[in-house]
Structure 1
Amino acid sequence: MLSHPEIVSRFGFGVYEADLQTGELWRAGRKIKLQSQPFKVLAVLLEKAGEVVTREELQVRVWGTNIVVDFDHSLGTAINKIRDALGDTADNPRFVETLAKRGYRFIASVTVLGGSLATKATESMNLELTAESGSAQVVLQGPPGTSSQEDELDVMRRRRRGFGFWLWIAMLVPLAVLAGLAGFYYGSRSTGPLPRIERLTRIGRIAPGVQAMESLPASATDGLRIYIPVISGGRSVLAQVDVRTGAVENLPLPSEIASATLGDLSPDGSILLLRSHLSPESEQSLWTVPVGGGSPLRVANVVAHDATWMPDGKSILYATGNQLLVSRPQDGTSSLFAKLPERAFWLRWSPDGKVLRFTLLDPIKHTLGLWEASSDGKSVRPILSNWTRPSSECCGIWTGDGKYFVFQSDRGGSSDLWRLDGRNTGEPKRVTNGPLSFVGPVTSRIGHRIFFLGLETQSLLQRYDAGRHEFVPVPGFLAEATRIEYSRDRQWVIWTDAAGKLWRAKGDGSELIQITPDSLQVFLAHWSPDGKRLAIMAKESGKAWQIYLVPADGGSPERLLRESRNAADPSWSADGQQIAFGRVTDIMGKEDGPRAIQIFDLRTRAVSTVPGSEGWFSPRWSPDGRYIAAVSLDQRKLALFDTALSTWRTIAETTVADPVWSSDGKAIFFHASSAEMQPIYRVSIPGGRLEQIANLSNFSRGDTEDYFFCGLTLESVPIVRSRTRTGNLYTLDLDGP
């Protein structure tokens, strides 16, 4: 209990901060809306963290001694709003626990971040503490203020002079923790206290990766620096993070290695193993780059989708197809290490070099699983089989002494870290419990400190304003949309959200309904010409992408194909009697079988193949039915198939993604998402004139790092989702709070 709550103005818990003076709640540096009355209730709970606060005390302190006619309802509403703001639940609370007929208790550990014995009416100070934890120095500070640089320097001087006093004040609080922006959590009441989480970086642009695109946010450390991808200028670039200060610095790489993906750091910490992503193909060339500078070397005769050093630091273990092979750079030869059921990623050796653990990705079920192999590759087996269904475990790594093995697991769309005994004995134990998704662990070389990415995506839906030559926000009900399409009669709009749900509404936002059940994850959807049905690309959990038809007013989805392969990108013919579809690229699900554009006839249920379409995907039928546009599997060409002449013609050669026909059928828009500045192009049809419409420079906000092409307005104006924030690096010590 805090005996003098008036001396404290700011509290930290998890990745949250509450400023009692200003009445503001922050999450990872971002302000969260919470009304005045719920905030007052939260303030009382924080002041008495760990104790039961009775309903009577809350009534007196928040509502006063005056009679409240419906106090129970008011208090219940306030608690619900607090839980909504914190992403908490009553059934499995991380922060606010309900004690029946007694009151409430704040169960997470609370950190005192600042305060003053003097009045706070004219000044709110941010206490900055520095704590040594292993080799990492963590600086704690509150949300950004508005003072000038000179004022900030003055405040910092006063902070340093008063450090001893504030340390003494903070020690009055039994549950206070003095070294973390983020306090540790209680998961469920049975898991016990979890380690304290601290934020290491503040740039908010660590590249999160995209699991569906075989991109996992790999990182590596030499003990002083963490090498990790960050987003810069619309691309993923390699950077190094100082583990003491959190300072981030882009790592210069030669031009031959475009959009480098990190494989591993050599055991002696001197050489990076990188993959070059010059194209969207899954298997890429491997390069070695000295950390301290020097010429890069391409690993001869090798293409791979992931790789790591062998324990001796001389040979390279790489994954290509469903195999693991060992390359010896000294003579350019490779030998088989192991054959696997699926494609392997995130290859990590145990500290003694006796066991290799890795992640297997199933391209049909789209599941992740942890596997291990002996040092000779002869014994290969899964670990944690059936621990979750469908399996979602990946990206594991040992601590330096082999005592623990830390991995990530996705449950309910949010990822947390877990640990196993290094010998794989006993049940996994939870390491984190939200509220962010925590992924991509890397362990320090000494001790049991780990580093990992906490995802905190911030994005904004915007449309291009040709008159102003910039993107402007799209107001209203489409704020959460990711892929958008208007009906041909211009009356309705459908869209998918980040959770994979499909929605429909009138153009003004009225008559809003969810079209698909929660059991389906929808990737995209297209209107039938008469506006009565929708063709969608969707999948059930643990199953392949499939094509479904669903009534535009909602109803049971009808699956068109009875096969176990991935099917994608349904597109209607002009008369609504046929649907063209394709397959997925390697990075969305590498599989056997030909990949071409096919047509499903809704009248006969027969499937035919478009002549000459092998090696093409992402079909888009023109509104008049004359052409089918498609993208090459390497996403470097956009072509038209003339349905009358049965001929193909390439109309654009650059990086191509997400083609969309204009409503009048006279142009195709697409996003060159892998090109510099990520331009959106317009190609005139049938002439083929290529015109750049917009790129990253057309965002008025300077913090936009990349964006996603969502569709077109009724006037054929591009709509995009711009991303300003992805996540930061966090750290914790497995040995304690």
Structure 2
Amino acid sequence: MPLLQKYRFGAFEFDPQKEELRKRGVKLRLNPQAACVLNALLENAGEVVSREELRKRLWPSDTFVDFEHRLHAAISEVRDALGDSATNPRYIKTLSRRGYRFIAELELVPRPAMPSNPPAQAAHDSAATPVMDAPRPHLRSLRRLWLAAAVVVTLTFGVVIVFLVRRGPPTPAIHSAVPLTTYMGAQHCPSFAPDGERVAFSWNGEREDNFDIYVKQIGVETPIRLTRDPRPDLSPAWSPDGRMIAFYRVTSNRTAEVLLIPALGGAERRIAEVAAAWQDYLTSRLLAWSADGKWLAMPEGAAADSVSGLILLSVETGQKRRLTFPPASYDDLDPAFSPDMKRLAFVRRFSSAADIYVVELTPELQAAGEPTRLTSESWPADSPVWAHDGKALLFTRY
């Protein structure tokens, strides 16, 4: 078999065999998904690589995953490593609704060939002969990491990982994933009603033209459509009493609204206008109710200062109060109140890295100190959910 070539472009060199990216000889960090995406783009330099082709490379066909969000994260990581921009690309160009294209000039760097039957003297001097490292299995860890996740075309209910808070290392638990929907288009942000008999979600409809909020009875195929605004409606969240659903409406590139609507349908009520979250986070959970039904936790601030910290939003008055202050270039999202309202779990992201944090809360719902980091693996974690007794957190890892 011919040896794989290296790719050289600008100050960068990518080794597809080792899935290593270097800049002027210095190795840059890329997780396996980002490396796989870059490899696919370089293999097809100058041509469009479709989103479907990237999906097939990244995930097995039987894997349920929030594909749009994960692909955005992988592309963003590659662009960050290359110092590239989506709006003014030098290396990777986005083609709306189609895919991506590598647009820079590319040089193929051949590897030195090894003789198939080296002579005796060469064998004797083998210490001086360059030997290639064995190829790594392609994304060898991904298949066992994707146990259950959120959705792209199918909402999936499944327990992925159980993390015992304050009880030592996590204990994994594997359960079967059960599809809840089989609709055309994309469904995001599933939220169970307190009674466990209904699920609210955001769906772009059979025509795939706009995201609205829907509610589905478990075991009933046809959902109830709650919103019909031409702007995207996302991240539904049930109130603790099950009567209302809060949701997030994107009104512009820089602004959004948080609204309430009765769970059975009816008139909307706007709670507040907020700075819009970064577009790659819009398929994440953005809203979380406090157990007393008085507050919503959510990210805000990305449009103003490139950092999304968590805020508390009064359901009654729309008053906003800052709760977390992430470091520069980090973002906080995916909030989840503990049942006793004494802690708030959330995800802190940096590029494609993400970990679960917990911050202790005072009775006035102020941060009682700095957040505590619970996960520190190389694979990103998200979507934390508290167990009913507040002693454990469930989350996904991808």
TM-score (norm 1): 0.34
Superposed, 1:220-619 pairs within 5 Å as 261-262=78-79, 274-275=83-84, 305-308=87-90, 346-347=92-93, 359-361=94-96, 368-369=97-98, 394-397=99-102, 444=108, 457-458=142-143, 459=145, 461-477=160-176, 503=178, 514-519=179-184, 521-540=186-205, 542-583=208-249, 594-602=255-263, 605-615=266-276, 618-619=286-287
**Alignment-derived partner of residue 201 in structure 1:** 18
CA RMSD of aligned residues (A): 4.2
- Once the two structures are TM-superposed, the CA of residue 608 in structure 1 deviates from its matched residue by 2.5
| Contact 1:398 1:443 survives alignment (8 Å) | no
Q: 1:600 to 1:209 in 2, by over 3 A?
A: farther
In the alignment, structure 2 segments of 5+ residues that lack a partner are: 7-15, 21-28, 43-75, 111-136, 148-159
In the other structure, the counterpart of 1:706 is 380
Equivalent residue, structure 2, for 1:337: none
1:671 deviates by 1.2
1:624 is aligned, of 275, 292, 297, to: 292
SS of residue in 1 equivalent to 2:33 = coil
| Bigger Rg, which one | 1
The offset of 1:545, in angstroms, is 2.8
- Asked if residue 681 in structure 1 is aligned to residue 358 in structure 2, the reply is yes
Q: 1:692–1:471: structure 2 CA closer, same or farther, 3 Å change rule?
A: farther
C-alpha contact 2:309 2:325 (8 A) present in aligned 1: yes
Structure 1 CA distance, aligned partners of 2:95 and 2:375? Answer: 35
Q: Which amino acid aligns with 1:721?
A: T
Amino acid at match of 1:550: K
Distance 1:613 1:692, change over 3 A: closer
* Secondary structure at 1:630 match in 2: strand
Give the C-alpha shift of residue 658 in structure 1.
0.8
Q: 328, 332, 337: which is aligned to 1:656?
A: 332
The one-letter amino acid of 1:641's match is L
Change (3 A) 1:592 1:680: closer
- Equivalent position to 1:640, from 305, 309, 312: 312
Change (3 A) 1:650 1:133: closer
- Structure 1, unmatched stretches of 5+, are 1-130, 137-198, 222-258, 264-271, 276-285, 287-303, 310-345, 348-358, 362-367, 370-393, 401-441, 447-452, 481-502, 504-513, 585-589, 724-737
Superposed displacement of residue 568, structure 1: 0.7
State whether residues 571 and 619 of structure 1, in contact with CA within 8 Å, keep that contact through their aligned partners in structure 2.
Answer: yes
Alpha-carbon separation, structure 1, partners of 2:210 and 2:342: 34
- Name the SS for the 1:262 alignment partner: helix
Q: Separation in 2 of the partners of 1:615 and 1:202?
A: 35
Match of 1:313 in 2: none
Shift of 1:261: 4.2
Paired residue for 1:485? none
Instruction: Give distance in 2, aligned partners of 1:564 and 1:648.
Output: 27
Number of matched residues?
Answer: 289
Partner of 1:409: none
Whole-Å Cα distance in 2 between the matches of residues 720 and 532 of structure 1? Answer: 21
Give the superposition deviation at 1:603: 6.1
Shift in CA distance, 443/568, structure 1 to aligned 2, threshold 3 Å: farther
Distance 1:464 1:605, change over 3 A: same
* Cα shift readout 1:121-172 (whole Å, capped 9, x = no counterpart): xxxxxxxxxx545856xxxxxxxxxxxxxxxxxxxxxxxxxxxxxxxxxxxx
CA distance in 2, matches of 1:463, 1:603: 33
Tell me if 1:670 matches 2:346.
Answer: yes
Describe the shift of the 1:690–1:547 C-alpha distance in structure 2 as closer, same or farther (beyond 3 A): farther
The alignment partner of 1:657 has SS state of strand
Higher strand fraction: Structure 1 or Structure 2?
Answer: 1
Cα distance, 1:548 vs structure 2: 0.7
Partner of 1:719: 394
Q: Is the 8 A contact 2:4 2:17 kept in 1?
A: no
Seen in structure 2, the aligned counterparts of structure 1 residues 455 and 691 have a Cα distance that, compared at 3 Å, is same
Question: How far apart, CA to CA, are the structure 2 residues paired with 1:200 and 1:683?
Answer: 45
Once residues 385 and 349 of structure 2 are traced to their aligned partners in structure 1, the CA distance between those partners, rounded to angstroms, is 14
The Cα of 1:205 is off from its aligned counterpart by 6.5
In the TM superposition, residue 443 of structure 1 has moved relative to its aligned partner by 7.5
